[in-house]
Structure 1
Amino acid sequence: MTRPRFSAVGVLGAGALLTLAGCFGPPAPAPTTSSASAAATVSPSPTATAPTSPAVTPSPTATVPPSSAPPSSAPAGPTAEPTFTGFPEQTAPLTIYYVAIGDNGVSGPMIGCGDSIVATTTAPVRFTDQVGPSIGTLLVNRSRDVGLSGLVNVLYQSNLMYVSGELEGSTINIYLSGQFMLGGVCDIPRAKAQLEYTAMAASGATSAQVFIDGRPIDEVLSLK
């Protein structure tokens, strides 16, 4: 009776399988292509090589790289901040403040020398930023008397020009250039109130600061 022949590779492969069974438990069912590769790796035979059969080559579709996931399943990237393109254009009346001298707060908030600061409105004006047109309308008025209303514009002789405005929280900062030309000490709180109240009405702020050529209005008017 002829004895079956075993090649060296076969013997070594069987030894390797027995060794693996001792480490991880009973032998697994028929090895898959990946286990065949592992057996070839642990075999001590210097001539053992991994099978070159196409079945051993991992299928290109076996794993999907994260980058190839559908766009809908990819995590959304950071949303770009919207770019401010300016206020929308609108048409509305402007609110301009003038002084009721000696009114003692009857017609509006009371200011220095027993006067009142009173709101008036213009005809509808088209604008995008209401602060500039409102302050500009106040500064270009060269009449002391506001029609037949009895109100007074104490800025009518001043040479002032609106430069810019900036809203910081609930405070509107107004930047002007030029010079004041006032008629006396009582015109100081009147001029200041006209500018501040007009700026607050235009911006919706609750307080205002006025700067003339970079200097606070109180500092400028203290010299008058």
Structure 2
Amino acid sequence: MTRPGVSAFSVLGVCALIGLAGCFGPPAPAPTGTAAPTSTASPTASATSTASPTAPSSPSVAPTATATVPPPSSAPADPTPTGEPTFTGFPEQVARLTVYYVAIGDNGVSGPMIGCGDSLVATSTAPVRFTDQVGPSIGALLANKSRDVGLSGLVNALYQSDLTYLGGELAGSTITIYLSGQFMLGGVCDVPRAKAQLEYTAMAASGATSAEVFVNGRPIDEVLSLK
């Protein structure tokens, strides 16, 4: 049997196919032994980490301005002064005044009993305008220069005395009045009568429960002891 001949073109075709198969085969894997490490591949990151110092765990804080500012005060900027209020005087009013005279020999039936078995009896004046009731009341008593008080049967033991009211002060339940002048009395029994008239009239005007009387700077008991 005759074997068919192989032409030159057939040989060339086989060689061409072998060459194409080598070009389109699976790509060779990338070499790993010579790959550069990551740390050296990014020089910028490495430089940054070594150039910056490590931050402290507890950063120091500079003192603030509030450390030198004094704490705010609870008091107001312009506090109102405290203490007792200033007394500006009594309000003006119009009322009757109470003045005491003596019921001789009454033995305390008509009012408080005083020496020699007499009584003190309260009487009222006509309406008077005043701010401080003590001064007008004592003034009305001293201004009466009649022994007999109308037709009431009451007697004024001070009718001959020459006394002037100077002033008074109330301390607690005690009223103190100050007079100047001289007593002119009709006898021993006029001493407790005159004293009681002044004291009870002052207490009624001030609302006090006790009274002290000074005449020319001396206690009334000392002055009347010479009568």
The normalised TM-score by structure 2 is: 0.71
Q: Match for 1:3 among 20, 39, 43?
A: 43
Within 5 Å, which residues of 2 pair with 1:140-219? 140-219=143-222
Q: What SS does the aligned partner of 1:209 have?
A: strand
Rounded Cα–Cα distance in structure 1 between residues aligned with 2:138 and 2:49: 103
Task: Establish whether residue 104 from structure 1 lines up as the match of residue 146 from structure 2.
Answer: no
- Counterpart in the other structure of 1:50: none
2:179 aligned partner, one-letter code: L
Alpha-carbon separation, structure 1, partners of 2:49 and 2:72: 45
Aligned to 1:130: 133
Deviation at residue 6 of structure 1 after TM alignment: 3.1
Q: Distance in 2 between matches of 1:98 and 1:7?
A: 114
Aligned to 2:5: none
Residue in 1 aligned with 2:96?
A: 93
Q: 2:118 maps to what in 1?
A: 115
Offset of residue 107 of structure 1: 1.0
Superposed displacement of residue 75, structure 1: 5.1
SS at match of 1:173: strand
Query: How far off its partner does 1:204 sit?
Result: 0.4
Flag structure 2 segments of 5+ consecutive residues without an equivalent: 1-40, 66-70
Question: Distance in 1 between the 2:42 and 2:139 partners?
Answer: 118
Question: Post-superposition shift, 1:11?
Answer: 2.5
**Rounded Cα–Cα distance in structure 2 between residues aligned with 1:138 and 1:85:** 27
Distance in 1 (alpha carbons) for counterparts of 2:91 and 2:107 = 39
- Residue 43 of structure 2 aligns with an amino acid whose one-letter code is R
Q: Which amino acid aligns with 2:108?
A: G
**Cα distance between partner residues in 2 of 1:125 and 1:80:** 37
- Post-superposition Cα deviations, 1:7-36, rounded to whole Å, max 9, x if no partner, equal 88x522x2x33xx2xxx6xxxxxxxxxx6x
In structure 1, the residue corresponding to 2:226 is in which secondary structure?
coil
Structure 1 gap ranges (5+) = 25-34, 42-57, 59-64, 68-73
Q: How many matched pairs?
A: 178
Greater Rg by CA: 2
- Aligned equivalents of 2:81 and 2:215: distance in 1? 41
- The corresponding residue for 1:51 is none
